[in-house]
Structure 1
Amino acid sequence: MNKKFQERINELLSKKIYTYEELSKKLGIKSKGTIAKYANGQIKNPSFSTVEKIANLYNVSPSWLIGFSENKYINTKTDEYVKIKVLNGESNDNIIISKMLTKSNDYIAFNQKDDSLSPEFLKGDKLLIRCQSIYKSEDICAIDYKNEILIRKIIKTDIGLILKPINTDYEPIVCLEKDIKNLKVLGIVIKSERFLK
């Protein structure tokens, strides 16, 4: 994810409206060290509820805070956003995106259930997928393969496709031409969110 959240949280913190300790209490975070991690970029992707709380405390737009909008202050005509439900998550699991994006594409979201994509994506990360069947070799895609949803890098070869994990502890899946009928590309991973436990 880009550095917009880090830049903008630092901009808000520089106003010194709240100390790190005061802000952490208002956000319901036990350690003020978490705020410092937001500021220095160690945590780039806070939860949607945290983004909303921070934005409300500083009277700014949540979409601006996470870099989806250049409009700093809430404008209901231009700064609307939507929640994309995480299909394999808890009932309240969502990813927030600008409503502008949904006008041109459909999106789905999944929880990464293992560490097969580490270090790029870790177990528990929420992945936003732009729905499309067209992809390039090396794209990381959500794939319906034999009725199982996999998130893998797709490699095109002369004999078919390779569904390749990033973590070398996991084996790639080779799909020969005759097996491709069992495979459907749902879309391309375009964003991830990492949450504190």
Structure 2
Amino acid sequence: MELYKRIKARREKLGMSQEELATKLGYKSRSTINKIEMGKNDITQSKIIAFANALQTTPSYLMGLDEHETEIYTDDKFPNPNITEDYTTFPVIGDIAKGYNHIAIESWDGDKVDIPNSYLKGHIPKDFFVLCIKGDSMYPQYQDGDKVLILRQSTVNYSGDVGAVIYNDEISTLKKIEFVEDEDWLRLVPVNPNVPPILIAGEELKHCRIMGVPKLLIREM
């Protein structure tokens, strides 16, 4: 199945409209998505990664290199956020290492955190998830044990922005993400100068995806 057909099939399977997909990818209108799904517009490799993130699958699947339709987000096995008039209670899902060797297994041990609804800035609760930080590579900006409210999106807002990312299809980390538009590489950069950055390029990009960007830091004093 061609790339454009897999994009359309995956979008429809998720019950996502062309308008919703366009918004997730930063396109101004659904017409761009429509042209891509009809095979009229080509997309760059970096955009294929963004499409995979938005459609909750892998670039390899969309490109036909992997026939297994991998599902990325499986939040249905966790409690849904509990919404009240003033705040939303989120489950703290697993943890995300600030180093490079943490396997991204989503788990829940019962930990929860209350987020005032005003902090959601008009988004719905399902647009977010909460992760716990382990390690010191982003110290002092983020510290071990911090909880971070992550807004789901498939790209960071600009080069150097902090994002939650999974690479090698299983290792999760929180890092500054540096890139140049339309070039096939990105660099994961820690705040702590004692921890080296890591370059992801070429074939490795097919196994890398951005989960979202941090919007709120919760720290116990």
User: Residues of 1 paired with 2:190 and 2:178: CA distance?
Assistant: 11
Name 2:162's counterpart in structure 1. 140
Q: Counterparts of 2:134 and 2:114 in 1: how far apart (Å)?
A: 16
**How many correspondences in the alignment?**
119
Measured at CA, do residues 117 and 100 of structure 1 come closer, stay the same or move farther in structure 2, by a change above 3 Å? closer
The TM-score, its normalising length taken from structure 2, stands at: 0.49
Paired residue for 2:149?
Answer: 128
Gaps of 5+ in 2: 1-83, 96-108
Q: Per the alignment, in what secondary structure is the counterpart of residue 178 of structure 1?
A: helix
CA contact (8 A) 2:89 2:112 kept: no
1:125–1:104 distance in 2 versus 1, CA, 3 Å: closer
Q: Give the counterpart letter for 1:94 in structure 2.
A: V
What is the CA-CA distance between 1:165 and the residue it aligns to? 0.8
Q: RMSD value over aligned CA atoms?
A: 2.2
Instruction: Give the % identical residues.
Output: 26
Contact 1:154 1:163 in 2 (8 A): yes
Distance 2:197 2:177 in 1: 10
Q: Structure 1 residues 195, 184: closer, same or farther in 2, change over 3 A?
A: same
In structure 2, what is the equivalent of residue 91 of structure 1?
A: 110
Cα 1:79/1:104, change in 2 over 3 Å = closer
- Equivalent residues in 2 for 1:1-197 (5 A)? 79-88=85-94, 90-98=109-117, 101-103=122-124, 106-135=127-156, 136-146=158-168, 147-157=170-180, 158=183, 160-196=185-221
CA distance in 1, matches of 2:138, 2:122: 26
- The amino acid of 2:136's aligned partner reads D
Query: How much does 1:108 deviate?
Result: 0.9
Amino acid in the other structure paired with 1:115: D
Is residue 161–residue 175 contact of structure 1 (8 Å, CA) maintained in 2?
yes
The answer on whether the counterparts of 2:88 and 2:125 sit within 8 Å (CA) in structure 1 is: no
Cα contact 2:139–2:191 (8 A) shared by 1: yes
Question: Unpaired runs of 5+ in structure 1?
Answer: 1-77
The alignment's TM-score, normalised by the length of structure 1, stands at 0.54
Q: Is the 8 A contact 2:165 2:173 kept in 1?
A: yes
Asked if the contact 1:139–1:154 (Cα under 8 Å) also holds between the matched residues in 2, the reply is: yes
> Residues of 2 paired with 1:104 and 1:127: CA distance?
14
Shift of 1:100: 6.4
Name the amino acid aligned to 2:115.
Answer: I
Partner of 1:35: none
CA deviation digits over 1:35-83, x for unaligned, max 9? xxxxxxxxxxxxxxxxxxxxxxxxxxxxxxxxxxxxxxxxxxx943211
Q: Which amino acid letter does the alignment assign opposite residue 132 of structure 1?
A: Q
Q: CA deviation at 1:103?
A: 2.4
